[in-house]
Structure 1
Amino acid sequence: MHHSITIQQIGPSAILTLQTISRQIFLEAFADTTSEANMQAYLDSSFSYDKLLAELENPGSKFYFALSEGNVVGYLKLNTGEEQTEQELEDALEIERIYVLAAFHGQKVGQALLNKAFEVAEELQYKNIWLGVWENNQRAIRFYTKAGFEVFNSHIFRLGDDEQTDLMMKKQL
């Protein structure tokens, strides 16, 4: 049963919900491929209250929840200007995270969040939109390729003492 997905921009008041869903989705995605110690260290550093609050309060980043029947089922984080994790593309908006709860995969939540990102890029008149994706995440790579993204670079992503390669993909708008 597909329920309609609504997208809502969030601010600092949503921090606890954001923290809960960030951790849950990250655990679902990577628990099988990452040691418990590396995982705990990453969750504590990346999704700590202080770090998320600083991100939410940063004017160069924007956060959106995807809601289904009032429940948060995914979220989007966009970065502009200096806040981008890489500065390789001129005139670009970065999608830093599109996270969807596993139970809602295949229900167009990712698509709704991606559409929101395109909408924001258009409003801000950016020429490019880009993101990084783990090279072994075939599902995500297929999703972005289908949406018109293409690989233009790669970089190393560290998860604890594990090194992984992220592909950088972009789409011209």
Structure 2
Amino acid sequence: MSSITVLKAGINDLETIQNIGIQTFSETFSESNSEEAMKNYLEKSFSTEKLKSELNNPDSHFYIAWEEDIPVGYLKLNSGSAQTELQDETALEIERIYVKKSHHGQKVGQLLYDQALETAQNLNKNYIWLGVWENNSRAVRFYEKNGFEVFGNHTFRLGDDEQTDLMMKKILK
């Protein structure tokens, strides 16, 4: 494996983020959801208009993990009003750490998480929080290993299916 670099992403990276997002979400969740629900979610969540709006939001931060010139994962962070739920000025939300299946187990997720931690510290945040699907045991273990604790849950809708996300946070100060 060649070395992985994590670089801040901007509007010029929209198509790259769109492609990684669709690929990684499909790899992770398509077995557990209907084809129609997946198609609708992916079209809505990774539409050019939605991503353009998110990339232009000063409270959202995107980073792409690169193996040479190949994107292998990405990170989306939200602060302030860009947060999907808590909207706490002292918090940073990890909305997405997505890594291509081909790069699972190669520490790409850890590099992206380390970037999230560095961003939280640079923004002087008190804690980091996230929602993770309760049945994604690989991700839950990853966050627990990094010091996150469950503090609640919320419902995530994919099509007609209501799924439970664990709400997890890590205190930084």
TM-score range, shorter chain: over 0.9
Matched residues, number = 172
| TM-align CA RMSD | 1.0
Deviant stretches of 4+, over 6 Å: none
SS of the aligned residue for 2:97 comes to strand
Q: Deviations over 1:151-172 (max 9, x none)?
A: 0010000001000000010001
> Take 1:170 and 1:76, find their aligned partners in 2: how far apart are those partners?
17
- Equivalence for 1:124: 123
Q: Deviations over 1:3-35 (max 9, x none)?
A: 221110011111111111111111101111111
- Equivalence for 1:4: 3
- Equivalence for 1:83: 82
Q: Percent identity?
A: 58
Give the TM-score, by structure 1 length: 0.97
Unaligned runs of 5+ in 1: none
- Equivalence for 1:151: 150
Preserved CA contact (<8 Å) 2:80 2:87 = no
Q: Deviations over 1:63-121 (max 9, x none)?
A: 00001122100000000011101126561000000000000000000000000000000
Q: Deviations over 1:112-136 (max 9, x none)?
A: 0000000000001101001110000
Preserved CA contact (<8 Å) 2:79 2:89 = no
Letter in 1 for 2:143: Y
